[in-house]
Chains A and B, each alone.
Chain A
Amino acid sequence: MSDCRSIEMQDRLPDFASGTLPAAERSRVAAHLATCAACADDLALLRAVRALRPSAPVVDEAAIVRRLVQSPVVGMAPRATDGALPGRMPDAAPVPRLRVVVGGATAPSMRAGTRRRLSSWRIAAAIGVLAVGGMSAVIARSGGLGLREAAEGGVAALRDTGSATVVALAPAVGDSQGASAGGATLPHPGAAVSYGDLGDYSAEELALMLERLERWDGAAAEDPLPGVPLLPTSTTAPGGGELE
C-alpha cells in the first residue's frame, strides 16, 4: 500500500468519485489515475464507501412545508447584530411567537362621528399591533418608519431608532391562533417581526406606555385595550372617504 505524493490529486478523488468535478478538472484527474496505481486503488475504495451510503429515510416533505407555512415564526427570525455568518446556528431557545395582526374590527373609539373616526383611523394608521404570545404591544409610529420596517425590525428596532414608542401592552384579544378582535393573522414572511422578550421592559416603561395610551383615547387604565388593527398608510379611510 502506498500513497500518492500528490495531495492535490488525493483531495480531488472524492469529487471525481461523485462525478462532480468540472470537465477540465475531471480530465486532469483521469490522466493522473491512468499513471498512479495508488490513486486508482483509493478511487475504488471511495466508490465502495459511496456504495455503502444508506438510502435516505422517508421524510414527509409535505408535512415540513405545511409546518413552515403555518408556523407564525416563519420569516420572523431574530436579527443578528454582528453580521451572522452561515453555519451560525440560531439560538436553541425558542423564538418568541409573534403575530402581526392585520385588518380586523374597528376599535370602539373609531365608531363615534366622522371626524373622530377619521382622526382615529389616522392614529390607527400610525399604530402597529404586535401580538406577542398572549400580549399585544401597541406601537406608535411617529416617524417615517413604515409598518413593514416596524414588522421587520420589531419593537426593539423601533425603540432603538427612536422613531416610535411602545405605548402599551395588553392581553391579546382573540384566540391563540392569532386572530385578534376579529383581525386576521397575516402569516406573511414579508411581515416578519423579530422581537425580544417582553420581560425586557421595566415597570416604569410599561407604566409610561399605558399612560400615553390613555391620553390618546381617554380610556381608563382599567379598560381593556381595543384590538387596534394594523393598517397600511393609505389616504383612503374605510368606507371610501378621504382622511383629513
Chain B
Amino acid sequence: MTDAEPDDDAALDASLISRWREGDERAATTLVARHAAAVARFVQRLGVRDEVDDVVQDTFVRAFGALDGFRADAALRTWLFTIARRLVIDRQRSRARQGAAVEVQEQDVATEYDALDVLMADETSRRIHEALGRLSRMQREVFLLRVQDGRSYRDIAEILGSTEGAARVHYHNAMRAVKEYLHE
C-alpha cells in the first residue's frame, strides 16, 4: 500500500470497517489478513522479538476498539503502524521502569536494529546492513518505512509523530549516509 493506490486501498478498508461495524465478522477476518503481516514486520523491525504476536494482537484490538477515531480517508495501515509503535514504546518504557526509576522519553527509547535474522547472502548485503545500523534511530525508521514498506512521507510523519518535511529530510540524509558508507 503506497500513495500510488490510496483511493482503492482506503476505500476497501473503509468499506470493510463499515461492514464490521454493522456486524459482519468476515470483514474483520479480511482486515486482519490485509494488514497483520505488515504490522508484524514493522513491529519486528522496532526490535520486538518474542512478543510480536502479542503486540500485533494488541494493536488490532486497540485499533478496533477506537474505530470512532479513525478517518475513513486515511490509510488504515498507517494508523495501525502508529498504534503498534506506541505499544512497543510503552512496553519498552515499562521494562525500563522495572530496571530504573528514570523516566524514559520517547526519543530515548532504544529500538535496536538487529536484522541479523536475515541471512547475509553476500558482502553487499552485509555492508548495507552495517550502513543501516549506523543511521540514527529516526533516520533508520524513516528510511525503512519509505523503502521497505513503501509509506509516503505523509504516512511516515503520522506514524512517527513528525512532519512531512522532516520525514523527507531524514530520508534523504539516510540515503546519503548509506551511500557514503558503501563507497568507503
Contact = CB atoms under 8 A, between A and B. Distances in A.
A7 to B, nearest CB: 8
Interface of A: 1, 3, 7, 10-11, 14-15, 17-18, 20-22, 25, 41-42, 45-46, 48-61, 63-65, 67-69, 71, 73-80, 84-90, 92, 95, 188-190, 192, 194
B71 A86 contact: yes
- The list of the 6 closest CB pairs from A to B, nearest first, reads A86-B74, A90-B66, A84-B69, A87-B158, A20-B4, A77-B68
Given A18-B2, A20-B4, A68-B60, A46 B147 contact: yes
A57 B66 contact: no
Given A52-B115, A65-B32, A11 B168 contact: yes
A3 B176 contact: yes
B103 interface: no
A56 B178 contact: no
B175 A74 contact: no
B82 to A, nearest CB: 5
Contacts of B47: none
Given A14-B146, A64-B56, A80-B68, 18 more contacts: A7-B172, A20-B5, A21-B4, A25-B4, A45-B175, A49-B178, A53-B148, A54-B44, A55-B41, A56-B37, A64-B60, A69-B25, A69-B28, A71-B64, A74-B64, A77-B67, A86-B71, A86-B78
21 contacts: A15-B3, A17-B147, A45-B182, A54-B41, A54-B115, A56-B41, A57-B44, A59-B37, A59-B53, A59-B56, A65-B29, A65-B32, A74-B61, A77-B66, A77-B67, A84-B71, A87-B159, A88-B69, A90-B83, A190-B21, A190-B22
Contacts, number: 181
A86 B23 CA distance: 23
Contacts of A14: 146-147, 150
Interface string B135-153: 0000000011011101001
B149 to A, nearest CB: 8
Interface residues of B, number: 71
Contacts of A56: 37-38, 40-41, 44
Given A14-B146, A20-B2, A87-B74, A76 B65 contact: yes
B65 A71 contact: yes
A78 B66 contact: yes
B129 interface: yes
A51 B124 CA distance: 11
A55 B115 CA distance: 11
B118 interface: yes
B78 to A, nearest CB: 6
Contact of A1 (B57, B63, B179): B179
B5 A1 contact: no
